[in-house]
Chain A
Amino acid sequence: MWKYFAKRLGMMAVALFFIILLTFIIMHSIPGGPFTSDRKVSAEVEAALNAKYNLDAPLYEQFFDYLGGVLRGDFGPSYEYTGKSVNDFIANGFPVSAKLGVITMVFVLLASIPMGILAAVKNGKWQDMAVMAVATIGVTIPSFVIASVLIYIFSFRLNWLPTYGVDTWKGYILPVIALGGYSVSYLARLMRSSLLEVMGQDYIRTARAKGLSETKVILRHAMRNALIPVITVLGPTVANLLTGSFVVEKIFAIPGLGVHFVNSVSQRDYTTIMGVTIFYATFLLAMIFIVDVFYCLIDPRIKYE
């Protein structure tokens, strides 16, 4: 099994290399550059700037230069903000994004799993219908629409919650709901269908034939089995929360990493685009890896070879 995990780590490195390569190529194929701007800059100045940041070198040379930097943990300077490095952006922005992400993840798990269980246990009754109605809304409406509606109701009309920033705990409420809405709905539906399927299995009948109460049947026999598919999608769910956070951070003016990601693309801030992409990609691959390890712990049938 350890051999398998070592192999997986190796494959992650390969995947990461191709992610870097692809982003690099796509980014450089977009017209314009970091020093193209509305204000007319003289050709000499632009050439001097390009020379300073080595942007006049052949592409492959730039690529390997950059790769060398990344291997040393240096994502390079920002082309947009003088004196700031991409490492600074990540060091300042990521803790903010991560805090929002972790709170949202906890919210998602605490809301979706009980919702799914309730809907499955009360299958076909009004509780099921109510949960499914909420979940359908959450899956179909995009986070920025939910965010706008929430801001309109709770900040603008009722004046209960701030419209932007996360300086107080109140500031987290709306971003967390907007960011986690989709995942809560998706996981609640998954939990429901998974539990319903498990409840129809023969071993659940066996558990009932033992004389166990319905609560024990669900908690001891059904839940662990029903959670397996939920754990499978936790990796992608974390991804969803991360990519969703680009938009939500922008709407609520949260100084996280997502804002840099959105801005850097329009500004052709090459190093920031690259740095943030690589950082997210690494994070995602690590999440998926962790889910695989978890899988192995919960299901004895899985033996990675």
Chain B
Amino acid sequence: MEPILQVENLKTSFFTSNGEVQAVRGVSFSVEKGDILGIVGESGSGKSVTSMSILKLLADTGKIKEGTILFEGQDLTKMGKAQMRKIRGEKIAMIFQDPMSSLNPLIPVGKQVAEMIKEHHPEKKKDELKREVLDLFSRVRIPEPEKRYNSYPHEFSGGMRQRVMIAMALGNKPDLLIADEPTTALDVTIQDQILKQLRGLQKEFGTSIIFITHDLGVVAELCTRVIVMYGGLVMEEARIDDIFEDPKHPYTLGLLASIPKLEQDKGQRLSPIPGSPPDMTNPPVGCPFAPRCPYARNICAAECPEFKEVGEGHRSRCWLLDPEAPSDHNPFR
């Protein structure tokens, strides 16, 4: 199948008064048509910066230094501002993390959704726009869409606002939807509803989705493939089943161990990964996870391992997978 998006060796940095923050340091992945790709990692892993780089919505200090982002055959990194605007909202749409602050507080929600359609289809009449927005509202299950059209964001709950955001993102039937932690700020029952809805809409519209989250549990429910990011690098890439059944990176193991389980003993504690993510103004030379890795060896801190194929559609970046790696204290042997 033809990939709709192909990111190759993407490097994005922020130039701040404290120096260059190398948030993304050579990330490659691709999204197939109709695929749902999960990007997993903790705060500061570079997952959000990766998604912002695709739409070039980085803060003023951020810059794509290297790499290509091929979308439907065109390189987004080489596109001018005007061309980029034609893609945003029309071909690639985005849903953001915090629905409480992502809508303009002074404009009625219906108008905010209509604005997105109008921007790319100026020929559409007022009543046609309104009809489309009401249709979108009922698709994302906003009750009484007619009445809600003129409501302001503060009159909505968080879950309802996120539905408005989803309705907005789907307004122009985009080819690719980037959802940056869309359920993180919501409570669990609402989270589940939103995920079901995204899956349903993905089937209906055939939209490809990049789903960014720090929660492997959410990934399990939704995605077909996963990349695990850490320290601005992709650590592991695999089909969803392989990530849960045959993980090939100590960081993935750590993430899996920190998911709470229903049948877990009350006496048994969750095992969080000790330590904190690396300082990206001065990224480590070796594997960025080495300082927190329970299996780290001398070589891990000295040299960064390559991203290697370990199975069909399964790649990982770890010295433990090297054929010469010793087998004692090695979870992959």
Contact = CB atoms under 8 A, between A and B. Distances in A.
Interface of A: 123, 201-203, 205-213, 216, 220-221, 224-225, 298-301
B96 A205 contact: yes
A201 B104 CA distance: 9
Contact of A203 (B87, B103, B119): B103
Interface of B: 55, 57, 60, 85-90, 93-94, 96, 98, 101-107, 115-116, 119-120, 152, 154, 165, 168
Nearest to B56: A208
Which of B94, B101, B105, B168 counts the most A-chain CB atoms under 10 A from its CB?
B105
Contact of B119 (A206, A210, A224, A225): A210
Nearest to B87: A211
A300 B106 contact: yes
B96 A206 contact: yes
Contacts of B86: 211
Contact of B88 (A203, A210, A298, A301): A210
The prevalent SS among residues of A at the interface is helix
B57 A209 contact: yes
Contact of B57 (A205, A224, A299, A300): A205
B98 to A, nearest CB: 6
Contact of B89 (A209, A216, A299, A301): A209
A301 to B, nearest CB: 5
A212 B85 contact: yes
B119 A301 contact: no
Contacts of B57: 205, 208-209
26 contacts: A201-B101, A203-B101, A203-B105, A205-B57, A205-B96, A206-B102, A206-B104, A206-B168, A208-B88, A209-B55, A209-B57, A210-B116, A211-B88, A211-B89, A211-B119, A211-B120, A212-B85, A212-B115, A216-B119, A224-B106, A225-B104, A299-B105, A300-B154, A301-B105, A301-B152, A301-B154
B308 to A, nearest CB: 35
Contacts of A209: 55, 57, 88-89, 93-94, 96
A300 B152 contact: yes
Given A202-B101, A300-B154, A210 B106 contact: no
B172 to A, nearest CB: 9
A299 B106 contact: yes
Contacts of A203: 101-105
A149 B227 CA distance: 67
A208 B103 CA distance: 12
Contacts of B168: 206, 210
A298 B152 CA distance: 13
